[in-house]
Structure 1
Amino acid sequence: MAARKASEGLSKLVGDEVQRWGSMKPTGVSLRYMMEFGSRPTERNLLRSAQFLHKELPIRIARRAIELENLPFGLSEKPAVLKVRDWYLDSFHDLRSFPEVKDKADELAFTQMIKMIKVRHNNVVPAMAFGVQHLKKDLSPSFVPTDFEEIHEFLDRFYMTRIGIRMLIGQHVALHDPDPEPGCVGQINTKMSPMKVARAASEDARSICFREYGSAPEVSVIGDPNFTFPYVPSHLHLMVFELVKNSLRAVQERCMDSDKDALPIKIIVADGIEDVTIKISDEGGGIRRSGLSKIFTYLYSTAKNPLEENYEGVHQGVTMAGYGYGLPITRLYARYFGGDLQIISMEGYGTDAYLHLSRLGDSQEPLP
């Protein structure tokens, strides 16, 4: 039914093709497999990787394009969502128009093409956030957030698939790096220091806080500086950045309302047998118990909405908060490689975020 409705909104030819590919089952891969396969980036392996992506990417992209056509409450008709759908259809068309990958020249041309697809989709998250906020604004005030369950489930699937698509493309492209950093296999660092990544992400978050408020609380990182494990540094950076940004805002706004100095935020890195756990603790006053159930939904934010009234493309800068997708997407990044995110709050005191990262690397991508 969903596929039939999708084809009505698309041209018949594209609609049938999208339907056909969208009905195929995607193939998940694990961090360990990506690491082992990428450790030998021979011409033959790069060719095999390109051939896999040539078939896999249209499946994942078609499934999301069909869903983008069939969202409830008129979300599919919002200009920002139509823009995202067009990006997905353009990428599907590019992939399906590309001939079979048979030799090195084909593989190099294919790699350039998927690099362009990755760039095309750079602003998908803020564009979807804009569409959802536009919908929220248009609905009556009596509309309760639980009515959005279908949209939340869609966005979880949509963003998880996006993480996977970007990981697969980014990994294939990075395997072409003629001079990789020591210990790196594509985007995976086999000897990543979580302390080092946490410090860099914290400094980035503090610079945003400085820009917004004119000052920023200190952040201390505690743990073994020599400890390393295999992971994707860009994923960890994004997760820690989002969590520290939330803590900085809470602490900064709490101390602005009092005469007390801003208390530092603590990051503790613990090395377990199964998990590496990173705890981010603040004394920013915590979250009300009534609000805790909403923090992983895409329509909830305690900050004011930074989106402009008119959609004239997507805002490029990073704001402290307000889109309402930082925490849910951070949790998806953690879950992508078998980890998780938990938030524990003491209202009137502060919040602890526990970021669990699986160090076994065996779990398959949790594909919808």
Structure 2
Amino acid sequence: MLSRNNIPKISTHLLSTKVFIEKFSTQHAQNQFDISIPPDYSKYHPNIQEISSHLQDLSPYPPHSPYINPQHYYQNIVLNDWCRRKPHPVSLRQLAAFGNALTEEKILSSANFVRLELPIRIALIIKELQTLPFNVINNYHLAKVYESYYDIFDRFRKIPAIKTLRDNEKFCITLQDVLTDVNLLNLPNLLMGALECCILDALPQKELDGLVSSLLRARISRRLILEEHLSLTENFNVDPNKPRSQHFIGDIFFKCSALEHLEISSNNASKFIENLYPGIKMPKLIIEGKKDLSFQFLTSHLHYLFGEILRNSYEATVKHFINSNPGPHDEPQPVKVSIINNADHVAFRFSDRGGGVDIKPINKIWSFGKDSELAKNSLSNFHKLPDLELTTVSSRQQNLKARESLMNTSVGGIDNNNVKEATLINLIQRPAEYKLGLGLAMCKVYADYWNGDLVMHSLSGYGTDTFLKLGKLGYSDNKLQLDRV
């Protein structure tokens, strides 16, 4: 029942409500309180509108994705069929013997091997990605990698049997497309996704390293198989009867002079450090041991390994030199490289007097799992790269710009298909500002892939010895270098 004592309170409330409505109407009339006008959120972040437009990309089913959608289950039934098939390990000796005498039959056989082998290997990688925790595979960059792999799988599984050389020509165009346009952004997206997982602590370091390393190894094998078929096709078209030596190992591997490639890498490393410390004298390179050593290897990988190790040695040496308050005529200590030739492998010891590395975090040098602050810095440098559009690449010209942009980082210079010896001399000299902190971790994976290793020993306050071991290609007929799917 309404009490008489409550009437004054109700009247007062009604009166205040009336006043508020009148005031609201006045403000609305003056466009001072128009609820149809969105609030100005730019005071919170200048790019808030652009950021908010990408929120839908982080949903379980991004609207732009042709594969990550509610119907993906039915697509996955096709994938499962390919996952039940077995990949075919290949040794470099088998690869070499296959290219000794080229015939039309061999070219078509090689093409059909690649046509069936690639979707099997890609299917197994996709299955591995599907087993990751949701907050890992739902990462924007890792989802892009997943989509790219599924796109490659979907395209290749539909390619019919290659029966003529004309069919092979069309097939080679598709392979070139995979090596450049389609697959171009997988590497930066993979690494950026790993860095974001570090920042969010989404995956333990050991599991993250295992994931990135396995995807990188699989990537190397796939690219080698594709590039070797492209090279065989090119050689067949030019001269199918070209004689080969008994030590021939594949058309994409070259006889590499250790001395020549060390000098090239040293020159590039010096220019890189000069950009960081202009006006400072650079360390000299002293090469000892088996200077006349030549061995067959993939030149882009060798150049990458030498370059990253020397850049780190030079930078540490120059920093230590500056901190020692040098006189005007003083010079930094030299960097020494010892070349060792063994029956089954070659080895290089890089010795510097750069003050050493703290022993506790030394194993983290080989890890993709950075602490949160280092991961943020690396991620920030990725975003600063010019012309690296990580969403879509719509033209061949944009592809070339993106490739050049990647060449400016510690993840560039290892994916050049059809690399020739002379190309190394003219490789793009990368600027010093794009440091991602991933170079040595990448080197560890590549050294391990080639049946070698990368080890570092450090004496705090003195210097560091870095040992690079590389297995000789084709040394063992039974060693399946290309077995890592």
TM-score, normalised with respect to structure 2? 0.66
Report deviation, 1:364. 0.8
Do the aligned partners of residues 71 and 268 (structure 1) sit closer, same or farther apart at CA in structure 2, a change above 3 Å counting? same
Gaps of 5+ in 2: 1-66, 384-388, 391-401, 411-431
The equivalent of 1:152 in structure 2 is 209
Report deviation, 1:10. 6.6
Q: Size of the alignment, in residue pairs?
A: 357
Q: Is the 8 A contact 1:220 1:267 kept in 2?
A: yes
Judge which range, 16-25 or 50-59, deviates more. Answer: 16-25
Rg larger in structure: 2
The equivalent of 1:3 in structure 2 is none
Is 2:276 aligned against 1:204? no
The equivalent of 2:128 in structure 1 is 67
Q: For 1:62 and 1:325, locate their aligned partners in 2 and report how far apart those are by CA, in whole Å.
A: 27
Is 2:262 aligned against 1:192? no
Matching residue within 160, 164, 189 for 2:221: 164
Is 2:113 aligned against 1:56? no
CA deviation profile, 1:260-280 (whole Å, cap 9, x unmatched):
443222222111122111111
Do the aligned partners of residues 9 and 337 (structure 1) sit closer, same or farther apart at CA in structure 2, a change above 3 Å counting? farther
The equivalent of 2:463 in structure 1 is 350
> Match of 1:295, SS?
helix
Q: Is the 8 A contact 2:366 2:441 kept in 1?
A: yes
Q: Is the 8 A contact 2:108 2:164 kept in 1?
A: yes
Report deviation, 1:58. 0.8
What is the aligned-residue RMSD (CA, Å)? 3.0
Judge which range, 66-75 or 166-175, deviates more. Answer: 66-75
Report deviation, 1:318. 1.7
The equivalent of 2:429 in structure 1 is none
Q: Is the 8 A contact 1:7 1:19 kept in 2?
A: no
Q: For 1:132 and 1:268, locate their aligned partners in 2 and report how far apart those are by CA, in whole Å.
A: 35
CA deviation profile, 1:212-240 (whole Å, cap 9, x unmatched):
33354333333444322222222211211
The equivalent of 2:332 in structure 1 is 262
Is 2:441 aligned against 1:328? yes
Matching residue within 179, 183, 187 for 1:121: 183
The equivalent of 1:364 in structure 2 is 480
> Match of 1:307, SS?
helix
Is 2:454 aligned against 1:341? yes
The equivalent of 2:350 in structure 1 is 280
Do the aligned partners of residues 184 and 137 (structure 1) sit closer, same or farther apart at CA in structure 2, a change above 3 Å counting? same
Q: For 2:458 and 2:102, locate their aligned partners in 1 and report how far apart those are by CA, in whole Å.
A: 45
Is 2:316 aligned against 1:250? yes
Is 2:164 aligned against 1:103? yes
Q: For 1:168 and 1:242, locate their aligned partners in 2 and report how far apart those are by CA, in whole Å.
A: 25
Do the aligned partners of residues 84 and 217 (structure 1) sit closer, same or farther apart at CA in structure 2, a change above 3 Å counting? farther
> Match of 2:379, SS?
coil
Report deviation, 1:57. 0.8
Q: For 2:70 and 2:197, locate their aligned partners in 1 and report how far apart those are by CA, in whole Å.
A: 20
Q: For 1:10 and 1:251, locate their aligned partners in 2 and report how far apart those are by CA, in whole Å.
A: 57
Q: For 1:361 and 1:337, locate their aligned partners in 2 and report how far apart those are by CA, in whole Å.
A: 12
Q: Is the 8 A contact 1:338 1:361 kept in 2?
A: no
**Percentage identity across paired residues of the two chains:** 26
